[in-house]
A and B are shown apart, each in its own frame.
Chain A
Amino acid sequence: MGKRIGIENSIAAADAIKMANVDVVAAYPITPQTHIVEHLAELVADGELDAEFIPVESEHSAMSVCCGSVAVGARTFTCTSAQGLALMNEIVFITASMRLPVVMILANRSLSGPLSIWNDHTDVMSVRDCGWIQVFADNGQELFDHVFFAFRVGEDPNVSLPVMINIDGFIVTHMIEAVEYWDEEQVKKYLPDFKPVNVLHPDQPITMGAFGMPGIFSEAKKNQNEALLASKPHIMKAWEEMARLVGRKYEPVETYKLEGADTAFLTMGSFSETASIAIDKLREQGNPVGQIKLRLWRPFPFDEIREAVKGIKNLIVIDRAISYGGPGGPVASEIRAALYGEKGMPAIANFLCGFAGRDVTPDDFMKMYAKTGELLKGGRTIREEDYILYGVRE
C-alpha cells in the first residue's frame, strides 16, 4: 500500500513516469502540459530519473524522436496539448501504423482558433482515427494509475501500440489532489521490462517504414485495425490486475446510479465527477437518472456501451468538442453510430459545453436535464441532428 499525498496531479504523473523507469523523454513545452515535463526534467537533473531528456525544437520532432527511441527498444514518453498535437499530427498516425508503443499524456486543450490555453476535447477529437489506444483519466489518481497501465499495455508484445492518456488541461493537470502512490514492489509486479517486437539493431537488420503500394495498402490497414481491436483483452487484463494490486478497478465504460434510471448522462473526462454531483441532486428530487462514463475511447467499447444503455430511454451525451458543420458533437456522433439499429435504442440529446475550460457546474447539468425533458415533452423524439451549444450568450 503506497503513501497517499496531496500533490499537484502533473507532479504525480511525472513521478509515476519516473517510477516506470522511462528511458527517454522527448517533449516541447505547451500549456497546460508544462508541469509534467518540467518535473521530469527536474527528476533527471537531480539524478532521480535515469533517462535521456530531449528538449526538442517542436512537437513534430518530439513524436519523431519518440519513434526513433522506441524503435531501438527504449521506454519512451512524451506529452503535449492541442496545437502541439496538431503539429505532430502526421507522426501520430505513423507511430500507430508502425506499431511503436510510445506513451503520451495529452493534456486536453482547445484547438485554435482562436488561441486558447484552456481545456476542452477539441484536440483529442481531432485524432479519433489515428490508431492509438486512447483512454480518459478523470482525476489525478486515475492519471497516476494509467501511466503504468499505458506502458504495460502498449509495450505488451501482443499489443505493440502507442497509448494516449487524456486528462483535462488545468482542471486535472494543475489541481492538487490526494493521490495514492504505488510502491516499488507494485510497479515491479505490474510493469515488465520493455521487450520490443521489432527493434533496430545491427545484429538483426530490419527495415521499418517501407512504403505501401496500392496492392498491399488495404491489407496493411486491416492488419493494423485488427491489432487495435485485439488489444482489448489485454487492456481488460491490465485493468483487472491493477484492481488486484491497488484496489482500484477501471472499466471501458463505468456506470453510476444507473439502476432504475430511464435517463442517463454520458460523460468523458473531468465532466464525469461534476455530473455525478448533479445526478445525486436529481435523484434526491426523484428523477430516475444515472450516468455512463466513457473511459476507453479507442478501441471503442461497442459491447459495453450497448450493455450500459439497456433500459435507458433517453441518453444525454455531453461533448466538450464540436465538429463544424457536422453532426454536432463527436462523442454523440460515435454513440449514435454505435447504437444505430439496436433494439430499444435511446433517444439521444447532445449538449456541447465547457469550451476553453468554461465551468460546467452541477447546476448546469441539472439545466441540461431539464432541457432534455422539454425536448421530449409531448412524446417528441429528439431529432438526430439536434445538438445544443450550451451556455452560449446570445
Chain B
Amino acid sequence: MESLNVYASRLVTKREYFAPGHRACQGCAEALAVRLVAKALGSNVIVGSATGCMEIVSSPFPFTNWNVPWIHVAFENAAAVITGAEAGTKALIRKGKLPDKGTIFLGMGGDGATSDIGLQALSGAFERGHKFIYVCYDNEAYMNTGVQRSSATPFGASTTTSPSGKAKAGQVTWKKNMAEIAVAHNIPYVATACSSYPFDLMRKVEKAAQANGPAYIHILSVCPTGWGLPSEKAIWIGRLAVETGVFPLYEFEKGRYKFTVDVPKLRPVEEYLKPQGRFRHLTPELIGEIQARVTKEYEKLQAKASML
C-alpha cells in the first residue's frame, strides 16, 4: 500500500491514481491538476466529486478512470457527501468497526460547483470542522455545459451567458474570491495553486492533508477550449496568470498569509489577456480597469502577507 507521508521526498510517484484514457479535452490543465492532486495524495484516499468536467470525463458508466474510491452524487453537494463519508468513517473507527488507516477525504468540484451552487454545502462543511480537503478546480466558467459564466469568471471574459457584444463587454462582475471566503471560515489551511506550478501544487495538497480540520485549495485550471487558446499553451498561460498577479499563489495558515511563488516584478496583465480568445474584445480602457484592479488586489495581499 502506498503510504502518504508529508515529510517524505518530493519526487513524483510514477503511479497514476487518475488513470489515462479519460475524455478531457486536449491540453486540459484541469485534468493535469487532478492527476497531480491524485499523485500527491496516493491511494489512501476517498474522493467525493461534484458534477462537472472532471466527473463526466472520468466516469462514463460502466467505466471509470479512478484508481481510488470515488463517489459522485450531484452538483452542489460534494462538500456534504465527502464530509458524510468522513463522519461515517469517524463513527465506525470510534465504535471499533473499522481500523483507523488515516484515510484522507477529498472533496472536489469546479468553480460553478464550488462558488455558486455548492457554496452553501461547502460553508456548512467548513463550519462543522470536518477533517477533509476541498479542492476547487477553477476553469472560470461552467465549461462542461458549454462555457457559461460562473461567479468565478473574471471581469471582461466572454462566455456564452456573458458574451461580448455590441452592448456588453463580457462578464460585468469581478471574480468571487473563494480563497478569502475559505479564510473567513477560520479553517486551518487555505491555498491557491495552479497546475503550471506542479510541485507547489503537490506540496500544498500534502500540507492540506495534514491540516487538523478543513483545508481548501483553489486551483486555477486553464481550459484552452473555453478560454480560446491553442491547447499547447495551457501551462504557459497559467504561468502568466501568476506572473501578472492575476492569480497569486499563496497559502494561509495559522492566521498568516504567505506567497509561495515569488514574482519580484509583475508583468502587465495585458500579456495574460491578449493571447486568450475570451478577452479578445477588450478595449484598452477595460484592460486598464483590469490592470488597476489586479494591482490593487495584489497590493492588498502583499499587505496581508507582510503582517506578522
Contact = CB atoms under 8 A, between A and B. Distances in A.
B80 interface: yes
A48 interface: no
Interface residues of A, number: 45
Which residue, B64, B87, B89, has most C-beta atoms of chain A within 10 A?
A: B87
Interface string A232-264: 000000000000000000000000000000000
Given A65-B80, A210-B61, A73 B88 contact: yes
Interface string A194-216: 00000011101111111111001
B87 A65 contact: yes
A208 B71 contact: yes
B61 A220 contact: yes
A207 B91 contact: no
A137 interface: no
A68 B61 contact: no
A47 B87 CA distance: 17
B73 A24 contact: no
A64 interface: yes
- The B interface, classified by DSSP as helix, strand, loop or mixed, is mixed
Interface stretch (A49-57, A123-131, A285-293, A355-363): A49-57
A215 to B, nearest CB: 10
Nearest to B1: A202
Contacts of B48: 68
B124 interface: yes
Nearest to A57: B124
Interface stretch (A90-98, A182-190, A276-284): A90-98
A58 B124 contact: yes
B43 to A, nearest CB: 6
A331 interface: no
A67 to B, nearest CB: 5
Nearest to B47: A200
B62 interface: yes
B74 A211 contact: no
A52 B85 CA distance: 11
A220 B61 CA distance: 10
Interface in B70-118: 70-74, 76-77, 80-92, 94-95, 97-98, 101, 103
B228 interface: no
B43 A208 contact: no
Interface in A14-73: 23-24, 26, 50-52, 54-58, 60-61, 64-73
Interface string B119-151: 011011001100000000000000000000000
A212 B55 CA distance: 12
B69 A206 contact: yes
A52 B98 CA distance: 15
B73 A67 contact: yes
B56 interface: yes
Contacts of B120: 57-58, 61
B70 A207 contact: yes
A281 B211 CA distance: 69
B29 interface: no
Contact of B87 (A54, A207, A211): A54
Nearest to B127: A57
Interface string B37-52: 0000001111010000
B288 interface: no
A268 B60 CA distance: 42
B298 interface: no
Contacts of B128: 54-56
Given A69-B85, A210-B59, A205 B72 contact: no
13 contacts: A54-B83, A54-B128, A57-B120, A57-B123, A58-B120, A60-B76, A68-B84, A68-B86, A71-B81, A200-B69, A205-B67, A210-B72, A211-B61
Given A52-B91, A71-B71, A73-B98, 14 more contacts: A58-B120, A58-B121, A60-B121, A68-B48, A71-B88, A73-B92, A193-B97, A200-B71, A200-B85, A202-B101, A206-B70, A209-B73, A211-B61, A211-B72
Interface of B: 1, 43-46, 48, 55-56, 59-64, 66-74, 76-77, 80-92, 94-95, 97-98, 101, 103, 120-121, 123-124, 127-128
- The 4 A-B pairs of least Cβ separation, nearest first, read A68-B84, A74-B88, A57-B124, A209-B72
